[in-house]
């Protein structure tokens, strides 16, 4: 499929999806959200893809937020409808993919950009990255899951402070508060992200998919995460991957998943 605002490439079993609007600091407009939706679904349905990396084009920005030019004229109804549509088609989609998504945050990750990184399963930031949810400075609040996911990752107090002050924080501070998993030099960002992906790829895809589901279930209203874990654990038994993993251990060799 031809995309205008994103680039899709493959490195072994890793699909690398790059938001490619560097002149607008990769701001997320409707078209980009729709292209990301298609590329993510294609990666999900491609059995040769085991991990997805999301990143931004250029050295300045991962994504500097939702496209302000586009949403500046929205009405109350449009805002609500688009928030739901965006959450369903991109942010919740990323969180609930069966394959791990790594956000390689290569610069500004603001507003919707940080919200997308937070929907990913793992975040690696470059040393020049700056992260924040500045929506209240524009008269709105985070509308793509940011009020929920920032509190989940960094705690309620930090979420309250970062959102109400509209502050941008450097990647080292994001690391301290648990908002990102690692900080690396910008030139090493992709190789480091690929290294994490390679480690993931050594393991059972079915077990990984089950673990993602069980971890996420703690954050779904009305769902008992322990119960989800018990069911997901049970479902791993009897799979070919379980047989391969345990047999490989007993035969003192590496499992081949
Ligand atoms: N949208 C559109 N264009 C943007 C942009 C954005 N978010 N961020 C940057 N750009 C554009 C700039 O307008 C500029 O374009 P030209 O003027 O050259 O045409 C170009 O990118 C380069 O930006 P700067 O010249 O400003 O670059 P600087 O290095 O001076 O500054 C900056 C970098 C990241 C500090 C600055 O660009 C900046 O403050 N950007 C805006 C950050 C921001 O406030 N982002 C939006 C957060 S609010 C919704 C759901 C969710 C949301 C909205 C609606 N609905 C469901 C309806 C979420 C909202 C947000 O994300």
Q: How far is the CA of 65 from the centre of ligand 1 (A)?
A: 6
Residue position matching structure tokens 């490619």: 20
Q: Residue 21 has what pLDDT?
A: 97
Residues of the chain with pLDDT under 70: none
Tokens of 16: 């690398």
Q: Residue 231 has what pLDDT?
A: 96
| Pair 148, 109 in one domain | yes
Q: Residue 1 has what pLDDT?
A: 76
| Pair 106, 129 in one domain | yes
Q: Residue 152 has what pLDDT?
A: 97
Q: How many domains does the chain have?
A: 2
| Pair 56, 179 in one domain | yes
Residue 257 included in any domain: no
115 is catalytic: yes
Separation CA 232–CA 211 (nearest Å): 8
Q: How far is the CA of 122 from the centre of ligand 1 (A)?
A: 24
Residue 40 included in any domain: yes
Q: List Cα–Cα distances, 227 to 14, 62, 108, 223, 238, in angstroms.
A: 31, 37, 38, 8, 19
Residue 63 included in any domain: yes
| Pair 76, 177 in one domain | yes
For ligand 1, atom 42: residue with the closest CA: 64
Residue 255 included in any domain: no
Q: Of the residues 35, 44, 85, 115, which is catalytic? A: 115
CA-based torsion, 171, 62, 220, 50: positive or negative: negative
Separation CA 8–CA 158 (nearest Å): 34
Residue 1 included in any domain: no
| Pair 35, 144 in one domain | yes
| Pair 195, 234 in one domain | no
For ligand 1, atom 16: residue with the closest CA: 24
Separation CA 254–CA 203 (nearest Å): 10
Q: Of the residues 59, 77, 95, 135, which is catalytic? A: 135
Q: Residue 81 has what pLDDT?
A: 87
| Pair 110, 232 in one domain | no
What residues have CB less than 8 Å from 134, skipping those under 6 apart?
Answer: 65, 110, 111, 166, 167, 168
Residue 51 included in any domain: yes
Separation CA 204–CA 197 (nearest Å): 13
- Report the residue among 22, 25, 30, 107 best suited for mutation to probe ligand 1: largest number of ligand atoms under 8 A from its CB: 25
Its domain, for residue 245, covers 205-250
| Pair 48, 107 in one domain | yes
């Amino acid at each position: 499929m031809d995309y205008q605002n994103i680039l899709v490439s493959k490195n072994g079993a890793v699909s690398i999806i790059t938001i490619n609007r560097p002149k607008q600091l990769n701001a997320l407009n409707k078209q980009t959200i729709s292209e990301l939706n298609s590329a993510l679904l294609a990666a999900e349905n491609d059995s040769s893809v085991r991990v997805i990396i999301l990143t931004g084009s250029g050295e300045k920005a991962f994504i500097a937020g939702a496209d302000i030019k586009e949403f500046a004229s929205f009405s109350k109804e449009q805002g609500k409808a688009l928030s739901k549509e965006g959450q369903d088609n991109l942010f919740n989609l990323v969180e609930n993919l069966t394959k791990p998504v790594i956000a390689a945050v290569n610069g500004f990750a603001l507003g919707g950009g940080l919200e997308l990184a937070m929907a990913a399963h793992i975040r690696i930031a470059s040393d020049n990255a700056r992260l924040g949810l500045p929506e209240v400075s524009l008269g709105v609040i985070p509308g793509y899951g940011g009020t929920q996911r920032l509190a989940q990752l960094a705690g309620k107090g930090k979420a309250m402070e970062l959102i109400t002050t509209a502050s941008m924080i450097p990647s080292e501070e994001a690391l301290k508060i648990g908002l990102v998993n690692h900080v690396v030099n910008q030139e090493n960002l992709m190789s480091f992200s690929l290294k994490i992906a390679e480690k993931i790829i050594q393991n059972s895809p079915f077990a990984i998919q089950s673990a993602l589901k069980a971890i996420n279930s703690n954050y779904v209203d009305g769902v008992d995460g322990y119960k989800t874990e018990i069911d997901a654990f049970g479902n791993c038994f009897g799979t070919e991957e379980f047989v391969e993993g345990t047999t490989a251990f007993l035969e003192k060799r590496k499992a081949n998943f």
